[in-house]
Chains A and B, each alone.
Chain A
């Protein structure tokens, strides 16, 4: 299991990386953390002509808050997201999710941009981009563009990126106050790809009704999904167990899983409903607690 031969170029800028990609027309692959790419090379599932190493491009990593959003550079390592104070403050759901990504040694190397571009249907960060309405910043031969996360994931391991484009960062709009969250995952082992996972945020309006609910799932569909029917079902409702349960059922109906080695489609559908319900329940509980803090101690 040794990689096939390829050439290697170290890009010093995004423009250089993009022009190398454009020059090789699909024969080049970007090398960021390499935690998904290198195993595929070792298995000789890929035979790229060129690897473009983007690890030394300055300014591509980092987390900063600006204009009501958190911007995370594409080269930011999972570990940096995990320990970022800003992420912890604004997106505890993201911090929780990223802790489910593989293991410490993998998180030390793996990058946000790499995870999004790889688009594994059971990977946490694509689902989180979707849940958090990420704007995905892309650079290509024709300059930069931005895509909504929901336009980005096309199918398993396939995104809206062209051969010569790369992700440079994401922007996550901050959530309103009194937004609770939940994250639930079932995997065979700690750090394994999920059999299924669900993540939710829930924002309460005054009076305890749901102002906005978001629900995303992964591992049970070709790509991570936002469950619009569930979100619509909850909007304007009190987050009682009946409503949350109905929303979770909507998630089950929205997914189209396949059978694979570790779980049947039936089990995945079932897990989606269970995990969606648990994630929504956690989100509702946390939202009520936050609202209670705001209103001085009494849960609505």
Chain B
């Protein structure tokens, strides 16, 4: 066994300090150490996307990230998006269009869609499909997910507003953030 490390990080706006083994996956850290079980684990090799979170402003696989790597980072999980009584506009669009069935891929799908819309605020259908191609859903056939993301994009300001609230979680490197926004013009 290897030595435990102390990490400090911000998750959904709250600060945490915890001891972790270096090998602990960020997904397990969020689920087991912080009790944030909204982030799901589906494959642990980066294909299914169920564990997608926002790490320092960009979507990332929490099954391919070690918790020690998130030391000092800003993490956003599905629990930081909206609540049962006050869903985020993207979550509302998912509900309106029946874009989830079993709900297992949904948190990862939402976080991937959030990053996609921040980087491509007005995506075409093809861009939505390719932008979400790293997230497998076995229930919906994607049809309603695509419609929900299109609706959320059309409502534009909703996701833009999220970008502002997410400014609590700025990218670590300012340059990266500037480039991300630059990509939105493409």
Residue of B nearest to A39 (CB): B45
Which of A80-88, A132-140, A200-208 lies at the interface?
A80-88
Q: Which residues of A contact B69 (CB under 8 A)?
A: 31, 34, 53, 55
A104 touches B (CB below 8 Å):
yes
Contact yes or no, B25 A3, CB < 8 A = yes
Contact yes or no, A103 B23, CB < 8 A = no
A side interface size, CB within 8 A: 39
Interface string of B58-80 (1 = CB under 8 A from A): 11110111101100000000000
Contact yes or no, B3 A105, CB < 8 A = no
A209 touches B (CB below 8 Å):
no
B57 vs chain A, min Cβ distance (A): 9
B35 touches A (CB below 8 Å):
no
Interface residue ranges of B128-159 to A (CB < 8 Å): 129-131, 133-135
Cα distance A4–B176 in the bound complex, in angstroms: 32
Cα distance A126–B122 in the bound complex, in angstroms: 32
A190 touches B (CB below 8 Å):
yes
Contact yes or no, B179 A3, CB < 8 A = no
Cα distance A102–B119 in the bound complex, in angstroms: 17
Interface residue ranges of A41-88 to B (CB < 8 Å): 41-43, 51, 53, 55, 61-62, 77, 79-80, 82-85
Interface string of B144-186 (1 = CB under 8 A from A): 0000000000000000000000000000010110011011001
Cα distance A7–B22 in the bound complex, in angstroms: 6
Contact yes or no, B134 A102, CB < 8 A = yes
Contact yes or no, A109 B60, CB < 8 A = yes
Interface string of A100-115 (1 = CB under 8 A from B): 0011111011000000
Contact yes or no, A109 B65, CB < 8 A = yes
Contact yes or no, A103 B134, CB < 8 A = yes
Contact yes or no, A5 B64, CB < 8 A = no
Contact yes or no, A2 B59, CB < 8 A = no
Q: Which residues of A contact B129 (CB under 8 A)?
A: 190
Contact yes or no, B66 A8, CB < 8 A = yes
Q: Which residues of A contact B22 (CB under 8 A)?
A: 5-8, 51
A38 touches B (CB below 8 Å):
yes
Contact yes or no, B180 A83, CB < 8 A = yes
A298 touches B (CB below 8 Å):
no
Cα distance A6–B21 in the bound complex, in angstroms: 9
6 contacts between A and B (CB under 8 A): A7-B22, A34-B64, A34-B65, A83-B180, A104-B116, A189-B133
Closest 10 CB pairs of A and B: A103-B134, A8-B22, A83-B183, A108-B58, A190-B133, A39-B45, A105-B59, A3-B23, A1-B44, A38-B64
Residues of B at the A interface (CB closer than 8 Å) are 1-3, 5, 21-23, 25, 28, 44-46, 49, 52, 55, 58-61, 63-66, 68-69, 112, 115-116, 119, 129-131, 133-135, 173, 175-176, 179-180, 182-183, 186
